[in-house]
Amino acid sequence: MKETYRNGRTAFLFILPALLLILFIVFLPIVLNLYNSFFRWNSFEAGKTFVGFDYYVRLFKDPVFFTALKNNSLYAIISLICQVGGGIIIAAILEDKLIRRFQPFFRTVFFIPSVISIAVVGLMWQLIYNPEIGLVNGVLNVIGQSEWAHSWLGDSKTAIYAVVAVSQWQYTGYMTMLFLIAMQKIPMEYYEAAMIDGASKINSFFHITLPQIKEMILVGSVITVIGAFKVFDEVYVMTFGGPGRSTEVLGTMLYRSAFRNDEMGYASTIGTIIFIITLTLSLIQMKLGKSGQEVE
């Protein structure tokens, strides 16, 4: 039977439209980008000056680059714990017999933040974090912990955590949803059989649920980690990298170089580095997840 599936040309026809679009719109710019990173130029001037690897050398001496790298990694780690880890646990609880009655409601509510534009979410949270009129400090005062009240986004030590927290607020429900989809494909019989064998819920979770949703865990962690290195809108809207450069991420650093400092070449260099980092990370994750399994 396998023979009918070994028709490369038909397969190619199915893939072609998507492939062409991705090649021309997503990849061609990457190649141009690599080329651009060897020149000093700005968007409104005609000439380009060849600078070779100068920008790469400068990037690795730029302290802001390491701040950005640190912030991106922080983003990735916290998001993995909250969105992937938390998402799996919440999804598993929602699938539990005792809670499933309430699942539609909670699942709907938890997902809502992720359909709202980051422009909206960002401005909303700016106001919530505001030390004078904001809700966070208001709540802290009410519960008698006013000494914890803080200028969350305005302090260069806490700002990045405040920004990361908003992302968790926004996307944990999204991940939960992805895991729910995966868990609902697990045949009920598996759990029933385990129950008969006397396995506890926690046991079933580790021995049935987790292995069965492995593929989705991989997908989830890949998009979370890559998303963390691509992050831009959240920071742009809430702090634009400030105070100082404390919340700078690679995305905003690139944007600042390109459109505020008129250094398109430097921006292209940062773009190339983002590409290399995300490519490496996802290759590692794919290897770890051995998602090549379909090539039997």
Partner 1 sequence: MRTKILIVCMLMLALVITGCSSSTSSNEDESDKIVLKFLHKWPQPQYAPYFEEVVKEFESQNPDIKIKMEAIADEPIKDKLRVILGGSEVPDIMFSWSGEFARKFVRADAALDLTPYLEEDAAWKDSFIPASLQPFSSDGKNYGIPLRFNGKFFVYNKEIFDKHGLQAPKTWDEFLDVLDTLKEEGETPLMLGNESPWAAIHYLTGLNQKMVDQEVRMNDYNPRSGEFTDSGYVKAMEMLAELNEKGYFMDNVNSSSHDMVKQMFFAGKGAMFYVELEEFQDVENALKGNWGFFPMPSIADGNGSQKYITGAPDGFIVSSKTKHPKEAIEFLKFLTSKENSLKLVKDIGWPSPIEGATNPDTALKQVAEGVDYMKQAEGMAEWLDTDVHAKVADVYLSNIQLLLDGSKSPEEIIKEVQAVAKQVQSEVE
Partner 2 sequence: MTILKNRIFQVIILVWFSLFSLVIIYPIIWLALSGLKTNSDFFLNTWSLPEEWVWENYKAAWDAGIGKYFFNSVFITVVSVVTVLLFGSMAAYGLSRFHFKGQNTLLIIILSGLMLAPQVSLIPLYKLLQAVGLYNTYGALIIPYVAFQLPFAIFLMRSYFLSIPRELEEAAIIDGCNRWKVYWNIVIPMGKPIIASCALLTAMNVWNEFMFALVFIEDSSLRTIPVGLMNLRSQLNTNFGIQLAGLSISALPMIIAYIIFQKQFVRGISAGGVKG
Binding positions for partner 2, 120-179, rule CB under 8 A = 120, 123-125, 127-128, 133-135, 138, 169, 173, 177-178
Of residues 29, 104, 138, 244, which one binds partner 1 by CB under 8 A? 244
Out of 78, 235, 238, 258, name the contact with partner 2 by CB under 8 A. 258
- Asked whether position 256 contacts partner 1 by CB under 8 A, the answer is yes
Amino acid at 212: Q
- The answer to whether residue 260 forms part of the interface with partner 1 (CB under 8 A) is yes
Q: Which of residues 11-40 bind partner 1 (CB under 8 A)?
A: 40
* Residues from 143 through 182 that contact partner 1 (CB under 8 A): 151-156
Q: Count the helices and strands in the chain (H runs, E runs).
A: 16, 2
Backbone angles phi, psi at 40, to 5 degrees: -95, 120
Among 239, 250, 263, 266, the residue binding partner 2 under the rule CB under 8 A is: 250
Bond from prior residue into 243 cis (ω within 30 degrees of 0) = yes
Round to whole Å and give the CA distance between 84 and 71: 19
* Contact positions with partner 2 (CB under 8 A) in 184-243: 184-185, 188, 215-216, 219, 222-223, 226, 229-230, 232-233
- Total residues binding partner 1 (CB under 8 A): 31
Given partner 1, partner 2, none, residue 263, with its beta carbon under 5 to 8 Å by kind, binds partner 1
Confirm or reject binding of residue 262 to partner 1 (CB under 8 A): yes
Q: Does 65 bind partner 1 (CB under 8 A)?
A: no
Residue from 7, 12, 15, 45 binding partner 1 (CB under 8 A): 45
- For partner 2, which is the closer residue by CB, 78 or 231? 231
Closest by CA position to 229, among listed 262, 276, 197, 265: 276
Terminal-residue alpha carbon distance, the chain:
15
- Nearest partner of 136 among 112, 166, 115, 109, judged by Cα: 166
The residues, ordered by sequence, that sit 6+ positions from 42 with a Cβ below 8 Å of its Cβ are: 262, 263, 264
- Which residue, 252 or 272, is less far from partner 1 as judged by CB? 252
Of 115 and 157, which has the nearer Cβ to partner 2?
115
Contact of residue 44 among partner 2, partner 1, none (CB under 5-8 Å per partner type): partner 1
* b/e map 142-157, b = 16+ CB within 10 Å: eeeeeeeebbbbeeee
Give the dihedral sign, CA 209/210/214/219: positive
Interacting stretch for partner 2, rule CB under 8 A, among 18-26, 50-58, 74-82, 155-163?
18-26
Q: Which long-range contacts (CB under 8 A, 24 or more apart) does 57-64 make?
A: 58/266, 59/266, 59/269, 59/270, 59/273, 64/245, 64/248, 64/253
User: CA-CA distances (angstroms) from residue 260 to 42, 263, 290?
Assistant: 10, 8, 42
Binding footprint of partner 1 on the chain (CB under 8 A): 40, 42-46, 126, 129-133, 151-156, 240-245, 255-256, 259-263
